[in-house]
Amino acid sequence: MRDAAERWSRDEAQALHDLPLFDLLYRAQTIHREHFDPNEIQTSTLLSIKTGGCAEDCAYCSQSARNGSKLPAAKLIEVERVLAEARRARDSGATRFCMGAAWREPKARDMPALVAMVEGVREMGMETCMTLGMLDDTQVAQLREAGLDYYNHNIDTSERYYPEVITTRTFADRLDTLSRVREAGIKVCSGGILGMGETGGDRIDMLLTLANLPEPPESVPINMLMPQPDTPLAAAEPVDPIAFVRLIALARILMPRAYVRISAGRTDMSDETQALCFMAGANSIFSGDRLLTADNPEESRDAALFAKLGLRVQAAPVPEGRGAPEAEASAEEKVTPACCGDRAPA
Ligand code: SAM
Ligand code: DTB
Ligand code: SF4
């Protein structure tokens, strides 16, 4: 048994990564079964609460104003609209609602609306997640006070490759926000993207940075680059599916207790690739046919895949300090979600 305070070395991680595939999958699946029900999947739904016009220059992103992207810049959407979307997501089975904004960082004047969004979504009995860019101590404290469960802030790639992808902020800035979030007691969601021209070593180093944090993230999204028109990475080469599966398995072994999410890029993944990812220890996805600006598989495709594999969608935990989900929903609104609960394999 490995001591939680021990750091993983590059040699150890590389050796695991390079195992024959079935040995690697066996190791990852064994560890997965020690910490999770292998037939259960956590799902989150994403909503873009502020789209486009971002000041950062992330080379992969359709929302950067510096990428020559044609996506128009919108304002932060109203709280009521966010809550209506959240209610819809809850009624179709979502247990975690993630709100994403195309910002370098939020402004002080945005905080009251963000706080109201977190409070409103929690009242519906869902977990909350936000991804808003960099945060200062005051903002972290306000979100914590509102009851925010998770903060998503990806390191995206290795420290070495980071400046090839983003120049308007540093890898250290990213770690700085992650440590503020952790110190405040908000759960950390942090991962990255494969397919931006990085080496295999960069991918392993990215996971090592996360696994060797003083406390590893509770949630690790692994995105497959979705090349966006007009961005510098529009013509990036696709990632080999088996290389993707190896990274998922390595994430599971290095971070045994984390939810490992197959995030962006599932529209281009076969059922077989996704099944291998779940076998390698992935146990979370985004559900709903939209991510932030890009497509995600239709819910019916995911439901069919889960049924084929005999996977169940995890039920929502009751948020700390709250009773039952909001009482105000009408009887008609409280439909049993089609994709939740026990489902026998087809
Ligand atoms: N602006 C905030 C930030 O950068 O932290 C939050 C939103 S940002 C879109 C969230 C994450 O989405 C990025 O860190 C990146 O990992 C992922 N992402 C963005 N565009 C992507 C793409 N085209 N393909 C795959 N992942 C992408
Ligand atoms: C994460 O790692 N992936 C999500 C979420 N965190 C915010 C975002 C994926 C974005 C994909 C491209 C788009 O929708 O614009
Ligand atoms: Fe802005 Fe986030 Fe896109 Fe970077 S990834 S350009 S910070 S929205």
Q: Kindly tell me if the per-residue pLDDT of 318 is higher than 70.
A: no
| pTM, entire model | 0.92
Decide: 284 and 41 in contact? Cβ < 8 Å.
Answer: yes
Q: Which ligand is nearest to the CA of 44?
A: 2
Specify the ligand 1 atom closest to the Cα of 131: 6
Q: Which of 223, 268, 295 to mutate to test the pocket of ligand 1 (most atoms within 8 A of CB)?
A: 223
pLDDT in tens, 135-181: 999 999 999 999 999 999 999 999 999 999 999 999 999 999 999 99
**Mind telling me the catalytic residues?**
54, 58, 61, 98, 129, 189, 261
Instruction: Report the pocket of ligand 2 as residue ranges, CB < 6 Å.
Output: 46, 62, 100, 131, 152, 154, 191, 221, 223, 226, 263-264, 291-294
Contacts 24+ apart (CB under 8 A), 116-121: 116/79, 117/49, 117/79, 117/82, 117/83, 118/143, 118/146, 118/147, 118/148, 119/146, 119/147, 120/79, 120/82, 120/83, 120/86, 121/82, 121/83, 121/86, 121/97
User: Hey, whose CA ends up nearest to atom 8 of ligand 3?
Assistant: 102
106-110, 286-290, 335-339: range with lowest mean pLDDT: 335-339
Give me the pLDDT at residue 152, please. 98
Tell me how far apart the alpha carbons of residues 72 and 74 are, in angstroms, rounded to a whole number. Answer: 6
Decide: 287 and 91 in contact? Cβ < 8 Å.
Answer: no
Q: Kindly tell me if the per-residue pLDDT of 337 is higher than 80.
A: no
pLDDT averaged over the chain? 90
Task: Decide the pairing of beta strands 150-152 and 127-131.
Answer: parallel
| Token pair of 67 as six digits | 């990428």
